[in-house]
Amino acid sequence: MAMAVPKQELRALGNTGLKLSSVGFGASPLGSVFGPVSESDAVASVREAFRLGINFFDTSPYYGGTLSEKMLGKGLKALGVPRNEYIVSTKCGRYLEGFDFSAESVTESINESLERLQLDYVDIFQCHDIEFVSLDQIVNETIPALQKLKEAGKIRFIGITGLPLDIFTYVLDRVPPGTVDTKGVGVISGSPLSMGLLTEFGPPEWHPASPELKSACQAAAVYCKEKGKNISKLAMQYSLSNKDISSVLVGMNSVKQVDENVAAATELALFGKDQERSNPEICEESDMAEWNSTKLTNGIQLYFYYCMHIFLNIGY
């Protein structure tokens, strides 16, 4: 008798009416950002994610120079299910060639993304990493252009992504009246594993973290492994435990990774966070209690929320 597949927790994304799986499928690895990925592996990972209840898939033309969108599009098409059974977000403004948030560029960008994704519309269209450009352009040119795309039926909701929190308040305070309901803003955690920092294998060479932080994270990973724990699982559960986050995006490019991530979420839902991590006796016999109040955890915590996604509630 086949084992029942546990249902993923669904969380509301602000007042958009969208309900996202608590674990979201981060498709950047499908663009071979962290290493080569075959088309068959990409399609299989998307299929497995959907089978296990993941309904939210996130990508960008920046990931792998559009390869991520192409691979995700093939995976979604292979599902053979009605379009309204999954939620797709992609981005605009950041490309391998550089940044361009002009109205003309973002309009062209959505058309090209839809072609690569083999879709008629995306549920969420995000301004990608706005801290690197003029925020006034985002407010006065980009968002109005995206509103027109929404009216044309090519996108359903608009989002902004980035690292510094003050960029979000700047934009939210300046968009036209009625554009955003501040009580209904949805938040997504964009990198719970900190682009490889919080893994046993460590980050890729291009990772922007300081050598000190990379070293501290590797020390933490080794410590967790010695205790029979996986730092990636703990990091993901840390983000998932915050109910104010609508979905935690985790990069995946294999069936094995999908299974492990869903298992970690299921364990958290059934039993709560890893009990050993909160056991004061274990913290005392190691140096974990000291780490919890010093640079190691502070540094890691910063990267737990490396890329926040804020969604503007622009009508329905």
Q: Can you tell me the distance from the alpha carbon of 9 to that of 229, in angstroms, rounded to the nearest whole number?
A: 24
Nearest to 10 by CA among 316, 310, 176, 18: 18
> With helix as H, strand as E and coil as C, how does 190-229 read?
CCCCHHHCCCCCCCCCCCCCCHHHHHHHHHHHHHHHHCCC
Cβ-contact 35, 66 below 8 angstroms? no
Catalytic (active site) residue 95? no
Largest Cα–Cα distance in the chain?
A: 61
Other Cβ atoms within 10 Å of 234 Cβ, number: 18
Task: Kindly name the residue from 63, 238, 303, 305 that is annotated as catalytic.
Answer: 63
Q: Can you tell me the distance from the alpha carbon of 18 to that of 16, in angstroms, rounded to the nearest whole number?
A: 5
Other Cβ atoms within 10 Å of 225 Cβ, number: 12
Q: Looking at residue 35, what DSSP letter applies?
A: S
Look-up of token digits 């986050």: 245
Contacts of 171 (CB under 8 A, 6+ apart): 130, 135, 138, 139, 143, 160
Q: Can you tell me the distance from the alpha carbon of 197 to that of 220, in angstroms, rounded to the nearest whole number?
A: 10
Q: Looking at residue 65, what DSSP letter applies?
A: T
User: Which residues are part of the catalytic machinery?
Assistant: 63
